[in-house]
């Protein structure tokens, strides 16, 4: 007989020694919760004066109330995150449902809005550059899940790291035609690659027109640069550094863009949402693509009416809108 067993047999009240059994996961959770509750009660007791007495039922009720409140807040946060995630994938899947809007790149990753200018819009101009080094944060289904939470500005690299530098449009394979427009030094490359009357874009075209109008992108001070790459790039930089800097460009993520893109409201976007989306484009690497898309595609017809393409007097598929967008 072991020494411990001898002690047990000779000591009154010695407990029976039983084999040690590992706790199950549920038992461990109960033990942790019990210990946490015990520590919290002790803390409350320590804070009370000697003359005060702790009412255990009341203390436990308060703690249970606090725990339920925290659980409810956590559940609401999870539901909000899931809703946002659903909206992201809904948008991605909607865009991907047409070959005109989604392709698969050489690495097998989905590329959304990555087309080339429509032949009838180029006027015979040849674009020699087509980036093959993009999509590092993309998958066969679209942008990587974790990439949706990364500040978009972090995707930008300088020319010492890549031959042409990079940005969020390139790394996410999202509106990658903007990255191609930049390397070809022609923002209209992006605008001419988009068909805002496409069946999948037609419903959002009116929203995009309002986005352009609310931000002032249909003003002559912007549209006059649509054929001037350097001038438009400089204008975009000035806006990002001044007008849109207040939105914390360094922190904006893909999910922030989705929260502001409320296509289901006929009165959206609000001024704040429109400006935040413009700031997100700054974070993605270049606002110039949006400026050119607005200048080429939409016009202010007056009396609150906005037009698209040939709805606007003087629009030409090669030259875009005439210099003055007021009709």
pLDDT in tens, 7-19: 444 444 443 333 3
What distances in angstroms separate CA 180 from CA 71, 200, 230, one per listed residue?
A: 47, 22, 15
Across 21-35, 159-173, 243-257, least confident range: 21-35
Q: What is the chain's mean pLDDT, rounded?
A: 79
Euclidean distance between the first and the last CA atom of the chain, given in angstroms as a whole number? 105
What is the C-alpha separation between 116 and 186, in angstroms, rounded?
A: 12
187-243 pLDDT, tens per residue? 999 999 999 998 888 778 999 999 999 999 999 999 999 999 999 999 999 999 999
Angle at 58 (CA atoms; ends 56, 59), nearest 5 degrees:
65
- Give me the mean pLDDT over the 109-132 stretch: 94
| SS3 state of residue 96 | helix
With beta carbons less than 8 A apart as the criterion, state whether 281 and 287 touch.
yes
| Closest to 308 (Cα-Cα) out of 322, 298, 321 | 298
Q: Where do the structural domains in the chain lie, given as residue ranges?
A: 100-311
Dihedral over alpha carbons 253, 256, 257, 263 (to 10 degrees)? 160
């Amino acid at each position: 007989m072991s020494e411990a067993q001898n002690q047990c047999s000779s000591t009154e009240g010695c407990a029976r020694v039983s084999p040690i059994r590992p706790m199950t996961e549920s038992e461990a959770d109960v033990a942790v919760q019990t210990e946490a509750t015990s520590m919290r009660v002790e803390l409350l007791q320590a804070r009370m004066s000697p003359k005060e007495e702790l009412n255990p039922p009341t203390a436990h009720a308060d703690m249970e109330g606090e725990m339920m409140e925290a659980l409810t807040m956590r559940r609401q946060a999870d539901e909000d995150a899931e809703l946002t995630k659903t909206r992201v994938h809904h948008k991605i899947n909607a865009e991907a449902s047409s070959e005109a809007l989604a392709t698969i790149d050489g690495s097998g990753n989905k590329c959304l809005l990555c087309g080339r200018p429509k032949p009838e819009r180029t006027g015979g101009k040849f674009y020699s550059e087509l980036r093959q080094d993009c999509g590092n944060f993309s998958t066969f289904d679209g942008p990587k899940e974790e990439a949706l939470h990364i500040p978009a500005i972090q995707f930008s690299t300088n020319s010492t790291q890549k031959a042409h530098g990079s940005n969020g449009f390139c790394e996410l394979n999202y509106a990658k035609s903007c990255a191609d427009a930049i390397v070809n030094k022609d923002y209209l490359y992006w605008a001419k690659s988009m068909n805002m009357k496409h069946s999948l874009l037609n419903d959002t075209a009116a929203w995009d027109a309002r986005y352009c109008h609310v931000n002032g992108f249909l003003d002559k001070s912007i549209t006059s640069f649509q054929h001037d790459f350097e001038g438009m790039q400089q204008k975009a930089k000035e806006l990002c550094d001044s007008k849109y800097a207040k939105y914390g460009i360094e922190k904006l993520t893909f999910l922030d863009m989705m929260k502001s893109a409320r296509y289901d409201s006929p009165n959206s976007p609000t001024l704040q949402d429109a400006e935040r989306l413009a700031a997100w484009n700054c974070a993605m690497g270049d606002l110039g693509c949006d400026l050119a898309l607005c200048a080429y595609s939409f016009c202010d017809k007056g009396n609150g009416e906005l037009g698209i393409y040939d709805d606007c007097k003087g629009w030409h598929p090669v030259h875009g809108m005439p210099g003055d967008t007021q009709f």
